[in-house]
Amino acid sequence: MTNAAWYQTNTPRDFAILGVLTLAIALIFAHPLIALIACSLILIALLMRHPRPTTAPTVTTTVTTDAHPNSQHITATATITTPISADAHIRIETPGAPPITYSLRVATTEHIDITIPLARTGQRHLGTATTTLTAPHYGLISDTITTNLGHVTVLPAATPLPTVPLVARITGLTGPHTSRARGAGTEFLDLAPMQPHDRRSTINWYATARKSPDLTNLYVRRTYAQAEATIVIMIDSRDDVGREIALWGSGSQPRPDQRTSLDIARIAGLSLAHTHITRGDRVGLEDLGHPRPPLSPATGARHLARLQHALALATPHGAPPERTRAPAIPAGAQVYLLSTLLDNAAYDAALSITRHGHSLIIIDTLPTTNTWGLTPRAQQAWRIISHERSQRIAGLTDLHCPVIQWDNANPHQAFTHLDRHTQRTKRTQR
């Protein structure tokens, strides 16, 4: 809550001076109509000479976010309290966006809903609200009241994915997936003579009667074992670039209604985590741009909420330290690397992951770029960076690491193609 004092304006004095001059002219020319106008001006000046209120006006702002994470705005409620009737002028300044202006009449207390466009995620500064109150009937004006709207943490929303590729190697003794190893499961493997460790409930009496009528051998129905998949999502939070290349490295904030590369990475990471956890897989999170303990692979709704909060807090922290080795990844895990591939750090991490035999899928989080406003030197620099980035993508493709563009392409078709390829590979290995 912020308050300010009232100050007397020069309006009553100006009306009084104008009334006196008009009255003098009326007396000189003996004009009664002009004298009536002069008396009206002097009366208005006397009525506006109101003592300043002892109670200062106050402005209180409360920020409320929409219940649905996909909302493209944030609502702030401003409560203005004034002892006299006044006109309020509110100016909202949000980083990277043009200012928003509101004007309204306040009797004593008024509530106004301020809509701030915001399509970005993570920790966001909403800006400031500047309020000025004027009481024209009383000749009063207040100080400029500046209110900080504060910071909010906008959680990313998951995009439903129809399917995701299943990792080629699944581990464990139980889970939602069918393993290539023999064990307790639901998918039929073959019929074999009963061994001492086999259960009596697995005896197939029809096969036994057909192959061994004298019951010399009992035949059991063997199945494939059930197992679980381990997923590791690696997010490269070192880059947070928007569509406007001219704003990269300039210190200016991207537009709040346009998503940056880190916003796309948060949405992609949560979408993959939501889909895999729904299938019963264990999902972990690793941040390449911040040296902090990773989230160990787990499953369940609570773990999904932890992943959502951790993705929202992923943000650049200056120049990250160079890694001497790749992050520790569980054996047989499926790795998703979310990066813009603008430098060699994520590319080197991808090479290290593939050398250790892990299955890797690259999610390209670079948004659709706009070269408007670039100088010729900046355009030449972007062509060089874009060419180097294309070479990295080609190198990863040669290593059989799929690269999926998330922003302007349809990731559903790419994931469907990868899932079909994985299923064909599993059938061939069997």
253 assigned to some structural domain: yes
**What span, in angstroms and rounded, lies between the C-alpha atoms of 319 and 296?**
25
The structure tokens listed for 328 are 């520790």
The CATH number given to whatever domain includes residue 136 is 2.60.40
Give the model confidence (pLDDT) of 165-221 as tens digits. Answer: 877 666 665 666 666 667 777 777 788 888 888 888 888 888 888 888 888 888 888
Are 314 and 221 members of one domain? no
Q: Closest Cα partner for 314 from 249, 256, 236?
A: 236
- Residues 329, 335, 341, 347: what is their CA dihedral angle, to the nearest 10 degrees? 50
Percentage, residues of the chain above pLDDT 70: 88
**Does the pTM of the predicted model rise above 0.85?**
no
Are 82 and 18 members of one domain? no
161 assigned to some structural domain: no
Query: Tokens 């264990």 correspond to what residue?
Result: 282
CA–CA–CA angle 275, 278, 283 (5° rounding) = 70
**What span, in angstroms and rounded, lies between the C-alpha atoms of 297 and 281?**
9
For residue 337, pLDDT over 90 is answered with yes
Are 22 and 66 members of one domain? no
Residue 178's pLDDT is 64
Are 259 and 309 members of one domain? yes
Q: State the Rg of the chain over Cα.
A: 35
Are 286 and 340 members of one domain? yes
Are 354 and 272 members of one domain? yes
- More confident call, 204 vs 322: 204
8 Å CB contact between 414 and 403: no
163 assigned to some structural domain: no
Residue 55's pLDDT is 80
Are 378 and 255 members of one domain? yes
Domain that includes residue 37, residue range: 2-48
The structure tokens listed for 215 are 């019951």
Q: How confident is the model at residue 67 (pLDDT cuts 50, 70, 90)?
A: very low
249 assigned to some structural domain: yes
Domain count, the chain: 4
Are 234 and 345 members of one domain? yes
Q: What is the DSSP letter of 247?
A: G
Beta bridge partners of 284: 232
Query: Tokens 């330290």 correspond to what residue?
Result: 321
Are 354 and 289 members of one domain? yes
Beta bridge partners of 382: none
Beta bridge partners of 62: 77
Are 222 and 238 members of one domain? no
The CATH number given to whatever domain includes residue 309 is 3.40.50
**What span, in angstroms and rounded, lies between the C-alpha atoms of 408 and 405?**
7
Q: Closest Cα partner for 358 from 231, 221, 271, 212?
A: 231
Are 256 and 342 members of one domain? yes
Q: Closest Cα partner for 172 from 223, 225, 224?
A: 225
**What span, in angstroms and rounded, lies between the C-alpha atoms of 257 and 375?**
25
Q: How confident is the model at residue 243 (pLDDT cuts 50, 70, 90)?
A: very high
Give the mean pLDDT of 305-322.
Answer: 86
